[in-house]
Structure formats: structure tokens, C-alpha cells
Amino acid sequence: MGLTLSWLSIIILIPLAGLFLKSFELSPEQFWNILSSRRTLNALRVSFGLAFAAACVNLVMGSIIVWALVRYRFPGRRIFDAIVDVPFALPTAVAGVALTALFAEKGWLGAPLAALGIKVAFTPVGIFVAMIFIGIPFVVRTVQPVLQDLDPEIEEAAGSLGASRWQTIIRVILPSLAPALLTGLALAFARAVGEYGSVIFIAGNLPNVSEIAPLLIVIRLSEFRYADATAIAVVMLVVSFVVIFAVNRLQRWAQSRIPAR
């Protein structure tokens, strides 16, 4: 108990408190000016907006991947299952370089896309792609064990009671997976918001267009504008807290409807 508390304090609470204290060096007015500057607002919008969009895409695609991995037996299934973990393990800079090379105008995917008039690398779309890449394992790995535990008999029961396949998915399967799906969504979102390494390579980092908030913090630090950096950091922290808290509540609500066996 004591150990847990001290450890959590040293590792998590004290650095966060330090962050808040640092930001108090600014007057409320200065704080507000930093935040309401166009560049800061745009950076925050890019970070949170794209992270949320990427998490939603991961939720849908991740669910489909999980379904295939758990319910079907196909050649190479184990290999695909292992591949899911690659974004976890790959150093983010390596991922960034790889994605950039792939989506650059002369890259394997970038060239055909450019022919269609779609530019991925060095645009917000590139950030979006990188965020999807690093977020996908979070959805897959949180939903997978829950789906594995889900008894196929309940689908048979629903079928024999007259439910169509679609009704079975909507009324039986999804509600059973809801808490895990929400957790996966939250984790993928949190990871995407904080992602730095893989994004900065592909983003192009144009202020106001494709500049993410973490990068802006680094820029401010390198300019020795420490207070500015902490102000942005505090906002990210607060927004992240709110999101995690909201998802937690949602999750608890969903779980209260599915008490543990």
C-alpha cells in the first residue's frame, strides 16, 4: 500500500504537479494569450481532432481484425496475430521514416495516390495515417481476450430464438464487447494524442496546418520559452484527463449492465 502510493507519486503525480506549478509562473492573462494564439489553437486542434478521428477508424477496423483473428482459422493467422504488435514494438522514429518513405510522392503508396490527386506525406492526412498505425494494436489487444471469452453458444441461442445475423450482432455481441471497445478507443486515442516520433517525420510540420501540439511544445522549449511550453502541456493534460475520465464513466456504465460472471 505504502509502496504503491509512493511509487505512483514519484512516477506520476509529482511530475504532473510540477508541470502545474511551472505554469503558475504565468499570470492568467499571459496564460490566456499563449493559449489563444492562432498557432497554439491550431496545433491543439490538429492533435486532438486527428487523434480522435484515428481512434474511431481504429475502433472499426480493429473490431473487424479481432473478429477475423478470433473467429476464423486461416493460413498465416498466427503471423497476422503477431504483426498486430509491430506498432507497439517498433521505435516510433523508425515507423515515421518508414511511413514517410512509403507515402512520399515517389513512394510505393504515395505515387499512385499522388496520381489520384491525394497527397499524404507532409499533410494532415499523413498525421492521420501515422496515428492509425500506432493506435491499432490498442483496440485489437483489448478486445481480443473479451471476444475469445464470448461463448459462441450465445450466438446460436440468439439464432434459434429467431434473431437475424444482424440482430445478433447489434443486440448480443456488440453490447457484450462494449466495455472493451470503449477501453480500446480510449487507449488508441491517448496514444495518438501523445504520439510524437512517427508523426513529426510524415507531418511536414507546417505551423497552423500540420503541426501537432507535442511538437509545438518542443519548439517552445528550444526557444527557451519554458512557460509557453508548460501552458500548452497543461492544456493537453487537462483535456486528456477529461477524455479518460469520460471514457471511464462510460465504461463503468456499460460494465454495470454486464456484471462479471
Q: Is 161 in the site for other proteins (CB under 8 A)?
A: yes
Select from 11, 89, 153, 222 the one that contacts other proteins (CB under 8 A). Answer: 153
Residues 6+ apart with CB under 8 A from 253: none
CA angle 240/61/163 to nearest 5° reads 110
Name which of 165 and 225 has its Cβ closer to other proteins: 165
Q: Closest separation between CB of residue 172 and other proteins, Å?
A: 6
Q: Closest separation between CB of residue 181 and other proteins, Å?
A: 13
Name which of 29 and 153 has its Cβ closer to other proteins: 153
User: Which grid cell is 131?
Assistant: 496515428
Residues 6+ apart with CB under 8 A from 21: none
Query: Segment near other proteins (CB under 8 A), from 32-40, 62-70, 168-176, 203-211?
Result: 168-176
Q: Closest separation between CB of residue 74 and other proteins, Å?
A: 18
Per-residue HEC secondary structure of 197-241 comes to: HHHHHHHCCCCCCCCCHHHHHHHHHHCCCHHHHHHHHHHHHHHHH
Give the DSSP letter string of 21-43.
HHHTTS-HHHHHHHHHSHHHHHH
Q: How far apart are CA 226 and CA 217, in angstroms?
A: 9
CA atoms within 13 A on the CB side of 118: 11
Q: Is 167 in the site for other proteins (CB under 8 A)?
A: yes
Select from 158, 213, 216, 217 the one that contacts other proteins (CB under 8 A). Answer: 158
Query: Segment near other proteins (CB under 8 A), from 5-13, 53-61, 109-117, 147-155?
Result: 147-155
Q: For the chain, how many residues are written? A: 261
Query: Segment near other proteins (CB under 8 A), from 52-60, 86-94, 158-166, 182-190?
Result: 158-166
Query: Segment near other proteins (CB under 8 A), from 114-122, 170-178, 181-189, 241-249?
Result: 170-178
Q: Is 261 in the site for other proteins (CB under 8 A)?
A: yes
Name which of 104 and 143 has its Cβ closer to other proteins: 143
Say how many C-beta atoms besides its own lie within 10 A of residue 41's C-beta. Answer: 14
3-state secondary structure of 259: coil
DSSP code at position 66: H
Tell me the number of residues near other proteins by CB under 8 A: 23
178-217 binders of other proteins (CB under 8 A): 178
- Mark 240-259 with x for binding to other proteins (rule: CB under 8 A) and - for no binding: -----------------xxx
Residues that bind other proteins (CB under 8 A): 151, 153-154, 156-164, 167, 171-172, 175-176, 178, 257-261
